[in-house]
């Protein structure tokens, strides 16, 4: 995102290429360098954490916290178990096994649960249409979100909104409900 914008700025400035343009290009190049350096530093930090545990140990709490933060930050993307294990620089079967031991569910289930909880929060507290909710929660399509939602909650997203609105219509001054808890890892 940020690198792409910087490159677009460089491209537009290179068309005029006067002294001011050179300064803008230089600043944008420096920004790109800093973004790349920050990303490399983050990856080194993750790799160091991963290296500090041995194959016969469980995955560290620090590493699992980084994974949960990564999932929360990228819930709107099509992230896979492989993406997450690549992020933490740990072989995905090994990592997935330890994640399931620690949380009592596979990583794929955990990601799906986070998406459902975020969808419930958006459906209950906003007037976003279901297509926008599906995109924001990383489902991609409304059809896929509806199928997963029905499987997990035993009702469609539309039925959930209707029931939630009916039940809570009396509570006019109530605070918005929050179903999405980035620290909640238990099955319902």
pTM of the model: 0.60
Q: Which of 13-17, 114-118, 154-158 has the lowest mean pLDDT?
A: 13-17
Residue 14 has pLDDT above 80, yes or no: no
Whether the Cβ atoms of residue 156 and residue 150 lie closer than 8 Å to each other:
yes
* Percent of the chain surpassing pLDDT 70: 71
pLDDT in tens, 37-88: 777 766 666 666 555 554 435 557 777 788 888 888 888 888 888 888 788 7
Q: Which helix (H) or strand (E) holds 9?
A: helix 2-14
Residue 129 has pLDDT above 90, yes or no: yes
Q: How far apart are CA 95 and CA 185, in angstroms?
A: 17
Cβ-proximal residues to 17 (8 Å cutoff; 6+ apart), any chain: none
Q: DSSP alpha helices (H): ranges in 55-136?
A: 61-73, 81-87, 92-103, 107-125, 130-136
Residue 154 or 183, more confident? 154
Across the chain, what does the average pLDDT equal?
77
């Amino acid at each position: 995102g940020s690198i792409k914008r910087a490159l677009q700025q460089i491209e537009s400035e290179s068309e005029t290429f006067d002294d001011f343009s050179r300064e803008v290009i230089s600043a944008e190049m420096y920004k790109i360098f800093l973004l790349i350096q920050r990303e490399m530093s983050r990856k080194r930090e993750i790799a160091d954490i991963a290296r500090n545990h041995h194959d016969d140990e469980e995955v560290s709490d620090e590493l699992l916290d980084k994974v949960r933060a990564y999932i929360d930050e990228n819930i709107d993307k099509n992230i896979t178990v492989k993406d997450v294990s690549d992020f933490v620089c740990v072989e995905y079967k090994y990592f997935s096994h330890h994640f399931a031991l620690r949380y009592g569910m596979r990583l794929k289930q955990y990601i799906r649960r986070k998406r459902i909880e975020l969808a419930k929060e958006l459906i209950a507290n906003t007037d976003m249409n279901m297509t926008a909710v599906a995109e924001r929660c990383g489902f991609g399509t409304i059809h896929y979100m509806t199928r997963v939602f029905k499987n997990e909650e035993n009702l469609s997203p539309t039925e959930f909104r209707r029931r939630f609105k009916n039940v809570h219509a009396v509570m006019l001054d109530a605070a918005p409900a929050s179903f999405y808890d980035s620290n909640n890892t238990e099955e319902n």
